[in-house]
A and B are shown apart, each in its own frame.
Chain A
């Protein structure tokens, strides 16, 4: 079974983020890393391919400047190859534009199953994967906490507020996985050494046969009009425990109506 995983490469969250004052977009000039959220998708894909007794895991990513650092991490974990779409025309792309690009790239991989994260760590609109499914005319199942495949179907336990739903869908399908569903493996040293020579196909908007006007800032229907500083967190209240500290805590929680 061939599984394609959408992986987003993002600026290192540990480094201080910067916004472009003009476009108000996140500056993505430096090295990009594999979004932690997508490490779960990669792990799930590797496990599903192994469980199915074979098949390849292909990564699909859209990122500026031909960036492959994050892809190499996922290749070192065991993915076989990657498709990267990188093109100056994609600057200012919104989630729908991204979905168009990813859908076109995913078609080339001819996957039996497409995995993505529920939401990315930096943009977190959580809208891209479902748009990909819609554009590809595929069923989509979101918030998966458990995924298995059998014959031509995928079985998903879908996280809900009350518990989970069991969903069965025909393949191919798009499934988004939540963080923590599987424990992403460490890349082995051998895997890291092998990652360097695994194929990464780099494509432009034209290569995908997409109209440049439909993607990037030209095609964006979303514009960031203002960015405001988040309110500074107010100092907390310190309760000195003189034997009845727990009552104060209960009182506080009752005020919040959480108990």
Chain B
């Protein structure tokens, strides 16, 4: 199928097979390896990217549905102002261990910030419950998220 999409600010016009998943399109077709695949069933959040500003699990999203859409991955997010504050908070709170879940977490945080989300703890827990992390135990992620979303 023919798609016309913008990925990290760069236009892509071309053919994709109808059964190609967004994560495979990003990683294999475009060489954007920052997005990680783990559970493959839309539970873990490690493959989170933004499509038209909304978080999607790229493991269960078809590339052909991108026609007319804008995609942002961790490689694109690196260029944003948001990224500087996110990186600094994640480093300060040591909210990164193996790093496999981190790019997906950053994308979820970006969407929370862009949606004007609240730094209220209960709300943050709900918003981040779709991003699993097996290393940190979440305390540092919650603290970093509060700093990022709260703007401190």
Do A and B form a real pair? no
List A residues at the B interface (Cβ < 8 Å). none
Instruction: Spell out B's residues near A (CB within 8 Å).
Output: none
